[in-house]
Amino acid sequence: MTSLDTRLRDLRTRRKALVPYFIGGLTEDWTTYVSASILAGADVIEVGVPFSDPMMDGPVIQAGALRALGNAATLESICHELSAASFEVPIVVMTYYNVLHHFGLERSAELLAQSGVAGVIVPDLAIEELTPWRDVATAADVSSVLMVAPSSPDERVRRIGELSQGFVYAAARMAVTGQAADVGDASRVVGAVRAACDTPAYVGIGITTAEHAREAATIGDGVIVGSALVQRILDGASAQELEGAISTFRRALDQASSEA
């Protein structure tokens, strides 16, 4: 069991997890937004390492990633800034396999671990090809967080449940990231995960409002909020303004915890 496994299983006994997503290097002061979200009650931070050819990113995340790339953001620069910030909550990086492969799998795992990163989501890395990365990452105590889609058959969900560390990313819809009108297939996906394993299931993709977060948290063990926050930053919101927005998500999740 990895450190992230232990920490998130403990968290599950206390409250629903709030996981805001930020793009590393989106602004010069992007880590101040992370600090503000922690003050607002974030339990885990997801940090996107931008890639030029994303597979699951919608228009908002793509726009943010392109801006970050224009700011010369790289895996190394983002890890350096994470290391300097030394956040007290777990950091989970989301990136694409080409970034890790190009830098070197072992070097990537070591760099991430040294920067305080507890887990990595690699959405374009199939479980059939996971072993080389998962082995070096686990050796560095970096969890491999895997995703379950609404289309995943039961046997594949079972296998993902066996392999995923920290939490399972329960994708609420068959879509790229983005804001949405409801929580999609969250109930069905989380149900499949829980039938397959005891790993915490966090709902993401399309969580746009505090009410979405509350509803998703009554289903899963936590929620991931991405595009709705990145859009605010792209629109010029300050860290203090974002802290206020994230506080509304925190209150919604606390309500869901009290209803559980």
- Which of 140-149, 161-170, 203-212 is least confident? 203-212
Specify the long-range contacts of residues 185-194, CB closer than 8 Å, at least 24 apart: 185/150, 186/215, 186/216, 186/219, 186/220, 187/219, 188/150, 189/148, 189/149, 189/150, 189/152, 190/219, 190/220, 192/148, 192/152, 192/154, 192/157, 193/148, 193/157, 193/161, 193/168
Structure token digits, residue 177: 């990231």
DSSP 74-130: -HHHHHHHHHHH--SS-EEEE--HHHHHHH-HHHHHHHHHHTTEEEEE-TT--GGG-
Amino acid at 47: V
Angle formed at CA 238 by CA 237 and CA 241, multiple of 5 degrees: 80
Structure token digits, residue 115: 């920067």
| Mean pLDDT across 75-80 | 98
Q: What percent of the chain has pLDDT over 90?
A: 80
CA distances (Å), 28 to each of 25, 57, 139, in order?
Answer: 6, 22, 32
Q: What is the pLDDT of residue 181?
A: 42
6-54 tens-digit pLDDT: 999 999 999 999 999 999 999 999 999 999 999 999 999 999 999 887 7
Q: What is the pLDDT of residue 175?
A: 42
Structure token digits, residue 104: 């070197």
| Residue whose pair of structure tokens reads 């929580």 in the numeric block | 183
Cβ(51)–Cβ(98) under 8 Å? yes
Cβ(236)–Cβ(201) under 8 Å? no
Residue 164 pLDDT more than 60?
Answer: yes
Q: How far apart are CA 101 and CA 243, in angstroms?
A: 35
- Select the more confidently predicted residue: 59 or 232: 232
Number of domains composing the chain: 1
Q: What percent of the chain has pLDDT over 70?
A: 94
Handedness of CA 69, 146, 150, 128 (dihedral sign): positive
Residue 110: CATH number of its domain = 3.20.20.70
Q: Give the confidence band of 182 by pLDDT, cuts at 50, 70, 90.
A: very low
Residue 120 pLDDT more than 50?
Answer: yes
As a whole number of angstroms, the longest Cα–Cα distance in the chain is 46
Where in the sequence numbering do the catalytic residues fall?
Answer: 46, 57
Q: What is the pLDDT of residue 249?
A: 95
| Residue whose pair of structure tokens reads 């305080």 in the numeric block | 116
Which range marks the domain in which residue 16 is found? 3-259
Q: What is the pTM of this model?
A: 0.94
